[in-house]
């Protein structure tokens, strides 16, 4: 799930964080990262809070090359 998609859906990072009950500083930290992806545990919360409109895309959460799931 892309940070920009969440921000667009809710209108702001602050509103997005309020929707799932997390601190607004989380969104600021995510925006500073270069990958542009919402952490997986919060992506699930945004998916649920948006009634499934915000989708979790598996390609956003692939392991880096050379790493395999156990």
pLDDT tens sequence across 6-43: 999 999 999 999 999 999 999 999 988 878 999 999 99
Please say whether the beta carbons of 56 and 62 come within 8 A: no
pTM of the model: 0.83
pLDDT tens sequence across 32-42: 887 899 999 99
Pick from 62, 48, 57, 64: nearest CA to 3? 57
Q: Which two tokens stand for residue 37?
A: 């992806």
pLDDT recorded at residue 25: 92
């Amino acid at each position: 799930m892309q940070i920009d998609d969440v921000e667009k859906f809710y209108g702001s990072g602050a509103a997005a964080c309020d929707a799932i009950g997390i601190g607004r500083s989380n969104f600021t930290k995510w925006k500073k990262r270069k990958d542009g992806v919402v952490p997986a545990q919060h992506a699930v919360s945004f998916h649920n809070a948006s009634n499934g409109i915000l989708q979790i895309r598996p390609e956003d959460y692939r392991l880096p090359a050379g790493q395999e799931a156990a």
